[in-house]
Amino acid sequence: MVADAPAGPYALETSALNVAYHGKRALCDVSLKVRPNSITAIVGPSGCGKSSFLTALNRLDETVPGCTVSGNVRLFGTSLHDHPMPLEDLRRRVAMIFQRPTPFPLSIRRNMEIPIFEHFGPNRAHCAQRMESALEAVGLLDEVKDRLDCNATLLSGGQQQRLCLARALALEPHILLLDEPCSALDPLATEKVETLLKSLKQRLSLMLVTHNMAQAQRLADDMALFWVKNGCGYVAEAGPATALLHTPQSAEGRDYFSGRLG
Ligand SMILES: Nc1ncnc2c1ncn2[C@@H]1O[C@H](COP(=O)(O)OP(=O)(O)OP(=O)(O)O)[C@@H](O)[C@H]1O
């Protein structure tokens, strides 16, 4: 856990979270708890609201036309409803990584410098140190140290995704939201990212949306199975990953994990 993460029983907790698009509910009453220093896999069939859930957690929904969110989110015990924090502060603490890598079409160095300067001020020595340690953490430093001024879009897909992870990590997030982060990567790049995600548990909590059950099994400590009924997504079952995978208690879990539905 990072130094300025306040102590609390859960890294993140949602209560009765609802998401609607143009007044039509897409996600209903999601109450979930995420343990510190854990990986929680969010799984479920297409359209059950997994991405909508993640975007509600760092208020990315505010950029989506017609999207409304209600309910509460607690970050290390502090209610974001009762104690709203500036958006940029929230996004630093609750960072998000997408399916397709999203480097800025600028140099590798600028990709790292822009957010670091923005959050910590324009101190070049501090920035260089922070950039180096984040690139090192994602195993990219040796691969890019001689071409920091090359355009980031020239990196391979896997390297771009690790650069995006380094860019987020440089700001010391407490929670990392990952929306199918490996689905655009080949198996070798996927293995590198998975190894990295496992190692990141020492410093933060991760929430990973994945359709890949083998990946969920490899990475997840906890799991939440989302489902959809009458157009509204909900949590069918949540708990330790091994319990859900091997002895699901819900009808949805039995159908999904046996491969019969979803
Ligand atoms: N911007 C939007 N406008 C209107 N409806 C939306 C929007 N985004 C998502 N939805 C609807 O909300 C529901 C949940 O979508 P969401 O993308 O969160 O599901 P998902 O579980 O992440 O799906 P997938 O696994 O296919 O990515 C779907 O019915 C979807 O059509």
Domain CATH number, residue 23 = 3.40.50.300
> Does 218 map to a domain?
yes
Separate counts of helices (H) and strands (E) for the chain? 10, 10
For 151-161, the pLDDT digits (tens) are: 999 999 999 99
Query: Token digits for 113?
Result: 């410098």
Question: Among the atoms of ligand 1, which is closest to the Cα of residue 49?
Answer: 18
Q: What is the mean pLDDT of the chain?
A: 94
Residue type, 113: E
> Does 158 map to a domain?
no
Alpha-carbon 155 to chain mean position: 22
Q: In this predicted complex, what is the ipTM? A: 0.98
User: 98: alpha, beta or left, given left = phi > 0 and alpha = psi -120 to 50?
Assistant: beta
> Does 188 map to a domain?
yes
Domain that holds residue 59: 12-105+174-258
Enter the pTM of the model: 0.93
Q: Quick one: which of 210, 207, 140 has its CA closest to 170? A: 140
* pLDDT at residue 84 tops 90: no
* pLDDT at residue 7 tops 60: no
**pLDDT: which is higher, 173 or 259:** 173
> Does 205 map to a domain?
yes
- The residue to mutate among 17, 18, 51, 225, having the most atoms of ligand 1 within 8 angstroms of its beta carbon, is 51
For 219-251, the pLDDT digits (tens) are: 999 999 999 999 999 999 999 999 999 999 999
